[in-house]
Amino acid sequence: MKLEIGNVNVKDVLLGSENSFKDGILTIDKQGAIDYLKGEDDHITELDIVIAHPGDDTRIVPVIETIEPRVRMDGRCVFPGVTDEVVPAGDGELKAAKGTCVTVVGKEWGSFGDGVIDMGGEGAKHTYWSKLINICLVGDTDEEFERHEQQKCNHALRWAGHRLAEYVGKIIKDVDADETETYVFDPVLKRDEARKDLPNVAIVLQPQSQMEAMGYNDLLYGWDMNHFLPTFLSPTEVFDGCIISGSFMPASSKWSTYEFQNFPLIKELFKHDGIDYNFVGVIMSNLNVALNQKERSAVMVRNIALNLGVDYALVTEEGYGNPDTDYVRCQVILEDAGIPVVGVSNESDGRDGEGQPLVVLNEKLTALVSTGNVGELTELPACKTVIGNLEAMNRDGMSGSWGYDEILGKSARDDGSIIMEDNNWFCGDHISGFSVKTMAEV
């Protein structure tokens, strides 16, 4: 499979009365976009589009999702099974509006899986999103059944975000790309003879799929991953919109759709493919709840790896807590099969950093990469502008924030300043490989 991503570098984004791209300036017909999105889903009651730039003294909360604007050159939808019918992904040509993201924001209401983005100041250091021009889609819906629930599907707004990403992507369809990323994934059984002596490396992805109620989990070709069993995928499919983020998981631990589209760990594997090792693809797994489900998935991952002839594996999970059981079990069963593993995840050590990092540990886990401690506290001053609703941090059960603490008070204070756990940074641990953090020995 061959996937070509033509990157169009965006210098700025403006809102206007027409769609255009000129001299690096992307202009969006704001009302046209809003009318289109409302026409696609009558559950949407309010929508606005606001632009947030890197360095702005702006806080965005509650953030639901981020997506890179893209367009398929052959006219197929960007997110098969979600924004249109199920069609193949992973090969062909597309274009991407680089330096931007569609950021979906609740106008009033937040949820456990929603988070915070700061565009400037100290807070900007905590997330990758502060480096991008955020095309904020701020809205509300009539989904009253979940209005006061801590866990929300946020279906209408998430789908609107994916549609807006396609809408914006179409603006650059006829624009010449500044550079092209080309990913060639040859059939595993028809590889170049020169590769035969190279070790085989695979990556195991464990996207979020814990919720047995539908509508909260990550979707693969529109299929809820709670109903999914481990399988083999071309890495180019992951880049090409076959999987989208769900609404369940503490905010810092999520993989947003933008991260799936650009998964840095997979890109790094491609860089060395055919040189240092033979990249044999993605084993897509899941994160379920019952022990027999976890064991079944681990066994299937093991068997797929053995049948692919995998010599080394990376294993990475979306989340922590209950998913740590799947994460650790998968690594142990691969190690027992003679396949050395490197694991990549965040950790939950508590506010003092002295807790057990993973729910389950095993002496066979000898190579773990940490992307940060979700419990670390952060205190930041007020921002000049808030996009969304700061009170959601206190009211709506967002992970990492609270309504009142006897010692710390409210997470979102009356003066606009905040105190929260790192749990609350939207995709702040960037387990996909975007991580802005490092480690220090003390």
Q: Where are the domains of the chain?
A: 2-424
Q: How far is CA 154 from CA 35, 167, 206, 353, 406, in A?
A: 19, 20, 22, 33, 31
pLDDT of residue 435: 84
* CA dihedral over 148, 319, 244, 4, signed as positive or negative: positive
pLDDT of residue 221: 98
The per-residue pLDDT for range 24-41, each reduced to its tens digit, is 999 999 999 999 999 999
Is the per-residue pLDDT at 438 higher than 80?
Answer: no
Share of the chain residues as helix, strand and coil, in percent rounded to the nearest 5? 25, 30, 45
Is the per-residue pLDDT at 441 higher than 90?
Answer: no
With residue 35 as reference, give the H or E element that holds it. Answer: helix 30-40
186 CB burial (10 A radius; 0-12, 13-18, 19+):
middle
Is the per-residue pLDDT at 361 higher than 90?
Answer: yes
Query: What tokens appear for 126 in the block?
Result: 């905590």
pLDDT of residue 440: 74
* CA dihedral over 189, 191, 193, 198, signed as positive or negative: negative
C-beta atoms surrounding 298 within 10 Å: 23
pLDDT of residue 397: 94
* Cis ω for the linkage preceding 187 (within 30 of 0): no
Task: Give the three-class secondary structure for 234.
Answer: coil
Q: pLDDT band at residue 160, thresholds of 50, 70 and 90?
A: very high
Query: What tokens appear for 365 in the block?
Result: 């886990």
The per-residue pLDDT for range 372-403, each reduced to its tens digit, is 999 999 999 999 999 999 999 999 999 999 99
17 CB burial (10 A radius; 0-12, 13-18, 19+):
exposed
- Cα R_g (the chain), whole angstroms: 21
Is the per-residue pLDDT at 168 higher than 90?
Answer: yes
Q: pLDDT band at residue 341, thresholds of 50, 70 and 90?
A: very high
CA atoms of 442 and 42, how far apart (whole Å): 55
CA atoms of 19 and 4, how far apart (whole Å): 24
Mean pLDDT, rounded, of the chain: 96
Task: Give the three-class secondary structure for 384.
Answer: coil
Question: In this structure, which amino acid lies at residue 16?
Answer: G
pLDDT of residue 354: 87
Q: List the one residue out of 40, 65, 60, 427 whose CA is nearest residue 246.
A: 65
